[in-house]
Structure 1
Amino acid sequence: MTVSTTKTSANSATSPDSPDSPQEGGWPDRARRALGLKADVRNLSLLGVLAVLIAVGGFTRPAEFLATSNLQLVLTQASVIGVVTVGMTFVITSGGIDLSVGAIVALASVWATTLATQEYGFAGILFTAVVVGLACGLVNGLLIAYGGMVPFIATLAMLASARGLALQITDGRTQIVTVQSVLDLGLPDAYLLGIPPLVLVFAAVTLAGWLILGRTTFGRRTVAVGGNAEAARLAGIDVRRQRLYLYLLSGLCCGIAAFLLIVLSGSGQNTNGNLYELDAIAAAIIGGTLLSGGRGTIVGSVLGVLVFTTITNIFALNNLQSDVQQIAKGAIIVAAVLVQRRTARTDGT
């Protein structure tokens, strides 16, 4: 009887991205529709905030902000942190955290831009960036899932180690990319129907993340682990293996983001990815992903990324100080958390 009750608890968590998908153990249709409606309300609210920001940018700097080149720039800049945020959303949904994403991006970018790596051309740089990201994710996953370490401590250790190794590789210098095929991806000639290749990669990663989290057994298991890990274990889910896969996924996203950053900047630096972990966590939270786990939304996280990127762009165009920008971001994060807590009290959770 205990196992049966716990199975129900394991599936009581759900993903807003998949209100109509069947949950393991089954949710009543009415409950799924209600959760889907709340997800729609959150996403519509973020779209409203984004529309207001666009209006502000268009009013204060109409010629510069609404220019096609600037809109392309906003989407391109959002692509790098956006790919990282997709991986972070999975980790947070499972009840974990990854503080090392920015450092992994830095390490992958400098390792992929060494002279030895660049000798292998485009494929060598891409392969190295992805493999380094996966390797770091594997270490995080093993320490957390099988080593029993708290995610905060394990990923904090990875943050320090990856940053230190990135600094050692570069010796504090910027590594310039000389592979022309990589640099060409950042040029307007490579745009497809006016869309930069980096944005297309971001869109593909977002779509894949949305499908995996909201339409697959892997996604449902991720939500179940975040909702109640012990209940998920009793329901037959291998919690440790699931967590390992999730940190591997986060590392993969960091590797992809590192390659995009190499294309965008044309270099590899040990300072790359600075504070990416905070931006990714913040975007996921304001998008509706619960920091305590059990609920995640890829669509909301991407909208959160676009909100923050647009704010940064507006502040830059209006020559406003970065400290005011950070205060604005902090206020948005606090407001999002307060709304989440109020929603949780209303739901009785």
Structure 2
Amino acid sequence: MTQPASPPRPATSKSGPADGASPLRTLSARADLRTLSLLGVLAVLVLIGGITQPDSFLDTDNVQLILTQASVIGVVTVGMTFVIISGGIDLSVGAIVALASVWATTVATQEYGVAGILFTAVIVGMACGLVNGMLIAYGGMVPFIATLAMLASGRGLALEITDGKTQMVTVDGVLKLGERDSYILGIPPLVLVFAAVTAVGWLLLNRTTFGRRSVAVGGNAEAARLAGIDVRRQRLYLYLLSGLCCGIAAFMLIVLSGSGQNTNGNLYELDAIAAAIIGGTLLSGGRGTITGSVLGVLIFITIQNIFALNNLETAVQQIAKGAIIVAAVLVQRRTSSHT
């Protein structure tokens, strides 16, 4: 007697829920796609610069200039990326850079040489980050308000210290770091510092518990708390990290300009946030990459350089930057809706 045919087994899809690793693979693939897209945009900009100004844009000195200018804001952006990934925001980074730079270039501080200037810049940056972190994590203040208050206070204190004057650096060790003789294999020291900070930031975000906790807090703070993460302490650490990056950037800016001014770091907060967004960091938190943020910085600095070489108005440059930010946010929203 013929046995009835057994019902066919449902086909197992490689992308179905049975595959627990598929969401991670999907996120990784999308991150790789974003990185490739950013590299493509940067390549197009290099092509445009090479076509419009073939003699000056591709010159070694101009490439070194682009990388050096990207280094200072790039270090700030690394710290900002961590803060945004955690669901926060830091509007005070530019003011912290200004305050750290003027505090580190006072006559009393310069008496202690390079080490004294570097130490002061880093300590001032971390102290401001500590205040931000305490107000937000333990004081219950909204990050926007707390860092906005630090922005105003930092700028005011920097103006008070300098009395509106430029503080010139007289320490030879600091000044020599900005000279061509200090380049290593044709690479400016500031670029090497930027590369080191980027590498440490990448490892911290992708290879440590600290990075995983930062993403978890940004994705769902309550779920992170129930999982045993001290959310308040994690947020405090993140703003300390942002302050540390601002202190390092302040020292780099001192080397680059040979002075400390209360106007240093003007609009750095906007540039850092914009670069992070371009790099794929969600403003709502829970996702972001250091690589993407660095590429975002390079894209913006390259655009500025191309505009400058072609004698285009600053207003047009700002409009282009705004259009890029809007486009990046729209792409993020579309990507999130399909997740």
Q: CA RMSD in A?
A: 0.7
Equivalenced residue count is 321
Aligned counterpart, 2:179: 187
What is the SS of the residue equivalent to 1:92?
A: helix
How far off its partner does 1:34 sit?
1.1
Residues 204-219 of structure 1 mapped to structure 2, 5 A cutoff: 204-219=196-211
Aligned counterpart, 2:31: 39
**2:303 & 2:171 partners in 1: Cα distance?**
33
What is the SS of the residue equivalent to 2:56?
A: helix
**2:305 & 2:242 partners in 1: Cα distance?**
26
Question: Aligned partner of 2:81: which letter?
Answer: T
**2:240 & 2:181 partners in 1: Cα distance?**
34
Q: Deviation per CA, 1:271-327: give whole Å up to 9, x if none.
A: 000000000000000100000000010000000000000000111111111000000
How far off its partner does 1:146 sit?
0.3
Q: Deviation per CA, 1:116-152: give whole Å up to 9, x if none.
A: 1001000000000000000000000000000000000
Q: Is 1:260 matched with 2:252?
A: yes
Q: Which of the numbers 281, 285, 288 marks the counterpart of 1:293?
A: 285
**1:310 & 1:178 partners in 2: Cα distance?**
32
Question: Aligned partner of 2:160: which letter?
Answer: Q
Aligned counterpart, 1:14: none
What is the SS of the residue equivalent to 1:64?
A: coil
Q: Is 1:159 matched with 2:151?
A: yes
Residues 1-349 of structure 1 mapped to structure 2, 5 A cutoff: 28-347=20-339
How far off its partner does 1:85 sit?
0.1
Q: TM-score, normalised by structure 2?
A: 0.94
Q: Deviation per CA, 1:137-179: give whole Å up to 9, x if none.
A: 0000000000000000000000000000000000000000000
**1:251 & 1:296 partners in 2: Cα distance?**
19
Question: Aligned partner of 1:110: which letter?
Answer: V
> 5+ residue gaps in structure 2?
1-18
Question: Aligned partner of 2:33: which letter?
Answer: V
How far off its partner does 1:28 sit?
2.6
**1:63 & 1:197 partners in 2: Cα distance?**
25
Question: Aligned partner of 1:307: which letter?
Answer: I
Runs of 4 or more consecutive aligned structure 1 residues displaced over 3 Å after TM superposition = none
What is the SS of the residue equivalent to 1:323?
A: helix
Aligned counterpart, 1:22: none
Aligned counterpart, 2:15: none
How far off its partner does 1:227 sit?
0.3
**2:135 & 2:272 partners in 1: Cα distance?**
22
